[in-house]
Chains A and B, each alone.
Chain A
Amino acid sequence: MSDNRKFHLPEVVRTPSRFRNAIGKYRLNRTDACTSCGKCVEICPYGVHVMKRGRVYVKNHYLCIGKECPNPCTLGCPENALSFRRNPTFDTMGDYRWTPDLLASTWYMSEFGDVPKAGLNYRTGDSGGGFDKLRIKLRKEEESLDLTDEDIDLSVELNRREDNAHRVKIEVPFYGGGMSYGSVSVTTILSRMKAAKLLGTLCCTGEGGYPDELKPYDDNVITQVATGLFGVREETIQRVRMVEFKYAQGAKPGLGGHLLADKVTPGVARMREAVAGFPLFSPFPFHSVYSVEDHKKHVDWIKAINPKAVVSVKVSTPTDVDMVAVGSYYAGAHVIHLDGSYGGTGAAPEIAKKNISMPIEYAIPKVHQFLIDEGVRDKVTVIASGGIRTPHDLVKIIALGADAVCTGTSDMVALECIRCHKCESGRGCARGIATTDTELVQLMNNDWGTQRIVNMFLAWRKEIIRILKRLGMKSIKELVGRKDVLAHLDYINK
């Protein structure tokens, strides 16, 4: 962070699923022919089988990688008692964007702090477009830079204006996007915050206020000033080093926010000082901002309250997003945060998601180039968000011109979200993540959540470093705007 003390990364601690049966791609079947000889326990490289009190059984179905296994137990079993098949539950999860493979590999990363060894496609989804059609042109393994991981610099400076605002530096090229108290539980928020602190990065509160539980993490908190102004007080703005204006969300631009009545529990209502059991609306615009000079005034106001605040402006990606970005820069913003259309939890209406604004991989190069033409690219930090699922997505979007990214859904997946898209409904999430219901919240504890997110991001970090080395780059900064390291599958042979 901003002080000069050497930053120490946290350790990976293996953190398995909090449910009894983690969901895996395959299921193993053991017939009565099994003699408990222990051969399978011996040959399985992944610890799927265990022997306990002289009896052998399958403990970790989810770790089995199926036919890709170099030393399959199904062939090694002297009694032919073992067989495997695809787990039908697995294929019901997720969607084209977040494929079951991506979900399972994110869970794997959250458990082990590294990418899965085999059997899962952890690089791309199956959406047939966007990041899933882009590939990184890596050099051969043996041509990669011969450096230790410590020599690769992943840090990103967020304040590039020469003003007297805080110098905020993040140690990894990502930080946590806004999820409000109300949309997710306080445990979820805390897990993300703690992880952000451990990883030397930041995390945004979203619009639902600033619970007191977050006080110890003030330095790592980005507080959001959004159109409903829920929970925004002078005090909360003064507590933090970075303030984010949310003008729009990429998943639902022009729609504002809407927290359904069922999710407005007494606790949420208290935090937002509203009425329990009534839906809460965030209007789609700031009622006080209808033009760029209003916006400037708005930014000035935040600076009047906290003169040292780093100001980020989060906007969606309309066709004139380049103008918006430049306008925001001239109005005094330090960070331009572009939120593309792929993101959004289940709370964003399906009709809005993917259908309104520009995909992020179009918006970022446009803005990047425009800022270069204006001669201000090095004065402003560009953050991309909206559907950054994997370290590979991150590398791709940075190569297209962003400086760093914001994550959201992947954090939820680390906490074992299964992408059921029921975030907004009733008491919220079946897995106790996006809920404020007092019972459902009990499904998860803080330390577990923190470690899961830390593990996932350590895996991301490792993977990003591996990619950078194979691109011959020592720093993430070198990657910014390097479109030449990417290839698009549709144009690869033309």
Chain B
Amino acid sequence: MSEKIINSIIRSRKDLIYDLPANHVFNTEAEGGCGVTGFACSIPVRGKHIFEPSKQMHNRGNGRGGGIAAMGFDHRMLGVSPEILKESYILQIAVLEDDVIRELENNFIKPFFNVDFAEKIPRIDDYRDVPGLLVKPPDVWRFFIRVKPAILKEFKEKNRFDAMTERQAEDEFVYQNSTKINSKYYDATGLQRAFVLSHGRNFFILKVVGYAEEVVRYYQLDDFKANIWIAHQRYPTRGKVWHPAGAHPFIGMNEALVHNGDFANYHSVSEYLKQRNIYPRFLTDTEVSAQLFDLYSRTYGYPLEYVIEALAPTMERDFDKLPVEKQKIYRAIQAAHIHGSPDGPWFFIIAKNDTENKRLQLIGITDTGMLRPQVFALHEGQVQVGLICSEQQAIDATLKSLSDEDPRIGTVADIYWNARGGSHTDGGSFIFNLDEIRPGAIERKLTCVDKFGHEIRAEQEKVPYLPGRVYYSMEEDNREKFNVSRFFDLQQPDLLFEYIKEGILKWDYADLMDCFKEIKKWSRKNDAHLGVAINAITRLIDMRYPTGDKKRRSLLQMMNHTLENIFRSLPNLENRSRKSSYRLIDWESRPFFRGPDYDEKVLVIDAELFPPEGDERDSRLLTEAYFRGWRRFIVFGLKGQRFHGCGLGPESGGVRIDIYGNSGDYLASGIDGLTICVHGNSQDQVGQIMKSGKLIVYGHTGQTFMYGAKGGEVYIMGNAAGRPLINAVGRPRVVINGTCLDYLAESFMAGDPHNGGGFVVLNGVGFDEDGRVVPLDAPYPGSNLFSLASGGAIYVRDPNRTIDKEQLNGGEIYDLDEKDWELILPFLKENERLFGISIENDLLKVNGQKKGPLEVYCKVVPMKSGEMEEDGLEEWGV
């Protein structure tokens, strides 16, 4: 945009804020974090699929504000022609006072717009039929409108918008008109009669005082189809019923924004916007965020990358790592807009209709400090899905819900990842683009890029499994394929694992299904066989190996399904007649909860229907069971339930818990002695204040992993997210095979590793599609490594010596010595045993060359303390 246009736009908005008192204080509603979720699908899908993930995040909201946005419609669903859907603005007005709509129409719609179609959108007759809704949601009017040509011409002339395109001017007109509607009919602290929900093209927003899924129910969107859905659960701290307009999503022009977090500089951002004649009316920082986004993208005309940079500036070392050209531009952006940059914890999910490029977008942006939880996922196949959520279980719940309707969608995504906020690597933001394959087609093509436009691809060549499809076996295939009996007779789960692993390369999905069926049959024969089956399938889920032409996500789906089947057929606690050392307990059979009988060893908990928290949750049952004498646990069917392993108290050695499914936050926090194996990814706050025991995660782990830990032996197969091992003391010994986002082991105080203290081994490796171990670009791309640490050490596999002083703050880099290698070798051996990451062939090989450990690893230790402290120590005779 030229400076002239920018100035004329800003000037034209002057009279929108005429009612603003000169020394206006921007008030805000205190609002904590919230639950946000969004997904983009290559075909339009029903609104009911936003239902499950929204429910998953109840504990992130308090039912006092929920909203959804839907984008990308089939014109038939709305009863308009494709042209109208494409060209007209969908103005949605929420009416809080019944008779206001006529007046509003006469004053703000009819004089300026040609209305192509208008309707009051359908809803349930009585809001009380939707349990949970305490207040009647507003009636919503929907208008398909275009600005009358004469009005537009006058508007352009009056504001000297001659350099703008017709469409840009029309957008601005619609925007200003909505602002006027809001200022006339909505006063957040006073009279509330009506407000504009949304006014962009090909999308709309609905909000209620309640939970987000109640929006779907009340406005009967279960079967309404759209390409992109986003939802938000609000958690306002004030307890009373709040005005519905305060719920997310908020609008710019053609975008809907939901926000999780709470930024500290609301006042200064508001002031910044006020200087540009924009003024928030709904008392939340989310509205301000949407206004910022619109300001940058439409008024200043920045491309998306620069918009993101203006919101989440690239800082410190990451800035230095950028190419010089980019640094110049970014510096200019930062200099101009730093006052508008939201400061504090925030995470945005934005649905944007990029009308110019005929592209729908789902965007996730994290703040520079990565203070809010965020997970991205990509599902490839005949139907492509891109997902962004606060927690992984919400992603999996969405996929499960989609998969139930359309079997082309699997229950597991191809890849899951976190963004590194304000970084030079991914920019802390990912964008799912939905492009038209051909004009007017319903199906779109989904691509995923990061802030810099680098494409994120999941493997695309391999074939997914489609349930229900008939797989024909070849004529000559009359050989006996699944001779699994010998593994059971010999009690050799390892061989069974190898056998299936090989089989995956040769067989097709039907064979594999049959094989799993066979295993299932064998598993029912006796406990020993059951053990073999569980063991082998668990290993298949845990390990990485070549999968031939098959998609790993499909295999995982099958294996999880098989395993759950096996577990669900176990005898429950009521049934004492059937002999088995395994006992199943689920939500229905929990009244029969009791201590173990003489030969009952393993309590298998089906967590599916248990609530995620509160006294009724499954992890509480597990703790109770421990006190009643159970020592061995399997928990499966998890959907983000929290606190597993918490509350068992000290000296819980000998206890083992296996976790399948989507484990929740605070797993293993505080454990003292027991062993927990997580077969899959773990979430945030894992192993907080852990004292001793063993934790194995066959996947990634989330934020603030092992914060304040005192000890324990921990193996992570993948990455840890931000701020792992902060303030850890004592003797934690941790192997992380992947990398960490930032702030690894800040204020680490774990003594002398050679003398009983703690350490972290960071291997910086990942797996490729065929399960081979491959080194990451850098073992640790962030900064603030080992900041202010006073004890312990970090051993980094860094053959190219990429770690530099800039990344440290109070630490020093040294070469490894023999003693260090002796110290970490046993842990790497255990790591090899658990994850199959070989010391000889993977860790000590660099570009195919075998190297010595001292060449491959280096260590980061605390800087020697100053003289003063040593004097002090002498006095005590230490």
CB within 8 Å of B: which residues of A? 164, 227-230, 232-235, 237-238, 261-262, 265-266, 272-283, 287-288, 290-297, 300-301, 304-307, 320, 323-324, 326-327, 330, 374, 376, 426, 438
Contacts and interface: CB of A to CB of B under 8 A. Distances in A.
B371 A290 contact: yes
Contacts of A281: 727, 747, 788
B791 A277 contact: no
A229 B790 contact: no
A277 B872 contact: yes
Given A290-B371, A293-B59, A307 B672 contact: no
B21 interface: no
B239 A374 contact: yes
Contact of A297 (B61, B666, B689, B788): B666
Contacts of A294: 32-33
B876 A266 contact: yes
Interface stretch (B78-86, B407-415, B563-571, B644-652): B644-652
Interface string B625-647: 00000000000000000110011
Given A276-B878, A283-B747, A291 B723 contact: no
B34 A293 contact: yes
A301 B646 contact: yes
B689 to A, nearest CB: 5
Contacts of B642: 297, 300-301, 304
Nearest to A320: B30
A296 B665 CA distance: 12
Contacts of A374: 238-240
Say which size band chain B's interface belongs to.
35 or more
B238 A326 contact: yes
Given A283-B726, A291-B32, A327-B237, A275 B749 contact: yes
Nearest to B692: A233
B688 A288 contact: yes
Contact of A323 (B237, B670, B750, B865): B237
- Could you tell me the dominant secondary structure of chain B's interface residues? loop
B557 to A, nearest CB: 29
Nearest to B233: A293
A290 B689 CA distance: 18
A452 B750 CA distance: 39
5 contacts: A234-B649, A235-B672, A292-B31, A304-B646, A438-B876
B239 A376 contact: yes
B671 A307 contact: no
Of the candidates A295, A297, A320, A323, the one having the most CB atoms from chain B within 10 angstroms of its own CB is A297
A277 B877 CA distance: 12
A73 B450 CA distance: 89
A262 B872 contact: yes
A374 B727 CA distance: 38
B649 A290 contact: no
B646 A277 contact: no
Pick the 7 closest A-B CB pairs, nearest first: A229-B708, A292-B32, A291-B33, A323-B30, A327-B237, A278-B790, A273-B730
A228 B709 CA distance: 10
Contacts of B240: 374
A365 B747 CA distance: 38
B729 A273 contact: yes
A304 B62 contact: no
Of the candidates A238, A291, A305, the one having the most CB atoms from chain B within 10 angstroms of its own CB is A291
Nearest to B684: A288
B35 interface: yes
Given A229-B707, A229-B708, A237-B670, A292 B235 contact: yes
A300 B643 contact: yes
Interface stretch (B186-194, B471-479, B613-621, B832-840): B613-621
Contacts of B685: 288, 297, 301
B749 A280 contact: yes
Interface in B317-370: 345
B262 interface: yes
A409 B238 CA distance: 34
Given A229-B727, A287-B726, A261 B865 contact: yes
Contacts of B870: 277
B689 A278 contact: no
B878 A277 contact: yes
A272 B727 CA distance: 11
Interface in B216-261: 235, 237-240, 260-261
Nearest to A230: B729
A277 B869 contact: yes
Contacts of A280: 749, 790
Contacts of B620: 304, 307
A238 B649 contact: yes
A275 B648 contact: no
Contacts of B672: 233-235
Of the candidates A279, A301, A306, the one having the most CB atoms from chain B within 10 angstroms of its own CB is A301
A282 B876 CA distance: 25
Contacts of B757: 275
B237 A288 contact: no
A297 B59 contact: yes
B831 interface: no
Contacts of B873: 276-277
B663 to A, nearest CB: 14
A66 to B, nearest CB: 43
A224 to B, nearest CB: 13
A331 to B, nearest CB: 9
A273 B709 CA distance: 10
Contact of B647 (A230, A234, A278, A293): A234
A74 B445 CA distance: 102
Interface in B835-878: 862, 865, 868-870, 872-873, 876, 878
B689 A233 contact: yes
B35 A293 contact: yes
Contacts of B790: 274-275, 278-280
B694 interface: no
Contacts of A376: 239
B60 interface: yes
B271 to A, nearest CB: 17
B247 to A, nearest CB: 15
A291 B708 contact: no
Given A237-B670, A323-B237, A290 B261 contact: yes
